[in-house]
Amino acid sequence: MYKNTMRGILMMFAASIAFSLMNACVKLLDSLSPMELIFFRHVFTAICIGIWWFFYPPYKTDSKPHKKGGYFRLLARSLTGGLAMLAMFYNIATISLGTASAFAQTMPIYIVLFTLLFTKEHVRLPIILATMLGFIGVICICDIRTESLGIDNIIAGVINGIMMALAYMSLKDLKEYFSESSIIMGFAMTMVVVGGIFMFIDIPYLSGFVMPSMYEWLGILILGILGTIGQMFLTRAFMLAPAGLISPIDYMRIVWGVLFGIILGDSLPSMMTLTGIALIIVSGILIAMPVFLQDYKKYKSKFSHHNPK
């Protein structure tokens, strides 16, 4: 059990690197519109899952029974996830990679907010305080006096966090209707269709089609490979280790984003931006802490049971 948990932690760490490198590719491919990148990214994902299904059909490998229907839920999840990705790709192309990554990691803050507003679940005071801390962090990185951040980037950042939260919250219900690979395939195919249509509709900074050069085709290939590898590592991590133990590691994406952004030519973040990033990381970890402690206690109990002195 200890070995599997450590492997899960390493897989989550590797997933954070893979996704951050994918975002760096988006930064380098700024001559292509976000919608075009979304289209090619998910064509690659759909092909990979199609190949996987050819050798391991889901009806043979997934023994868990599922409810019938759920297609509208899957479509809604795909569209919210796609809108989150569109907003993130826009920010990656127009502001520093670290700041764009910080906006993307605000998802837990909005999950707590939606839980308070729209569900009957009880949220403890420390979680509410951690959420408020996260919002202060968002306000810090939204200071338009820093770097080249504009109102459009702030709006895109907020949309990114909100849509990711909605997409994540819908997964709990979707798992009752579909296997994990089916959810990913549904998302990929929705993005292929939506991206394939809208990339030919000229919307400034968001869509439009430009025939990629040889260099850009290579970048698109690497983008697809990194995104697929990141998804594989992420899925494997949650299969090997308790979610609470590995989720905080995902905040390494912000650290990698700052580092890779500087390597690609971003200026050093201002003190205000760094403060905001730090507050968002601390907030996310504090929000995840109850689940972390709960999973850690379960893990420690099982480990002690299997390894008596």
Query: Tens digits of per-residue pLDDT, 115-172?
Result: 877 777 777 788 788 888 888 888 888 765 655 678 888 899 999 999 988 888 787 7
CA distance 150 to 142: 8
User: Is 86 a residue whose pLDDT tops 90?
Assistant: yes
Q: What's the total number of domains in the chain?
A: 1
CA distance 93 to 99: 11
Beta-carbon-side half-sphere exposure of residue 52 (alpha carbons within 13 Å): 16
37 within domain boundaries = yes
307 within domain boundaries = no
User: Is 25 a residue whose pLDDT tops 90?
Assistant: yes
300 within domain boundaries = no
Please report the pLDDT score of residue 59 as a whole number. Answer: 64
Please report the pLDDT score of residue 111 as a whole number. Answer: 83
User: Is 18 a residue whose pLDDT tops 70?
Assistant: yes
pLDDT band at 244 (very low <50, low <70, confident <90, very high): low
288 within domain boundaries = yes
Please report the pLDDT score of residue 64 as a whole number. Answer: 66
Task: Give me the mean pLDDT over the 49-62 stretch.
Answer: 78
Q: Give the domain range for residue 207.
A: 4-294
82 within domain boundaries = yes
Report which listed range, 11-15, 116-120, 189-193, is most confident. 189-193
CA distance 180 to 171: 9
CA distance 21 to 13: 13
User: Is 218 a residue whose pLDDT tops 90?
Assistant: yes
Q: Which residue type does 155 have?
A: I
Q: Please state the pTM of the whole predicted model.
A: 0.84
Ramachandran assignment for 185, one of left (phi > 0), alpha (psi -120 to 50 degrees), beta (any other) = alpha
Please report the pLDDT score of residue 269 as a whole number. Answer: 80
Task: Give me the mean pLDDT over the 247-265 stretch.
Answer: 86
Cβ(102)–Cβ(276) under 8 Å? Answer: yes
304 within domain boundaries = no
**Could you count the other beta carbons within 10 Å of the beta carbon of residue 236?**
17
Q: Indicate the range of 78-87, 144-153, 210-219 predicted with least confidence.
A: 144-153
Contacts 24+ apart (CB under 8 A), 246-251: 246/8, 246/9, 246/11, 246/12, 247/12, 247/288, 247/291, 247/292, 248/284, 248/285, 248/288, 248/292, 249/9, 249/12, 249/13, 249/16, 250/12, 250/15, 250/16, 250/105, 251/105, 251/281, 251/284, 251/285
263 within domain boundaries = yes
Cβ(46)–Cβ(189) under 8 Å? Answer: yes
Q: What is the DSSP letter of 250?
A: G
Query: Tens digits of per-residue pLDDT, 262-309?
Result: 998 888 888 888 888 888 888 888 877 776 677 666 656 665 555 655
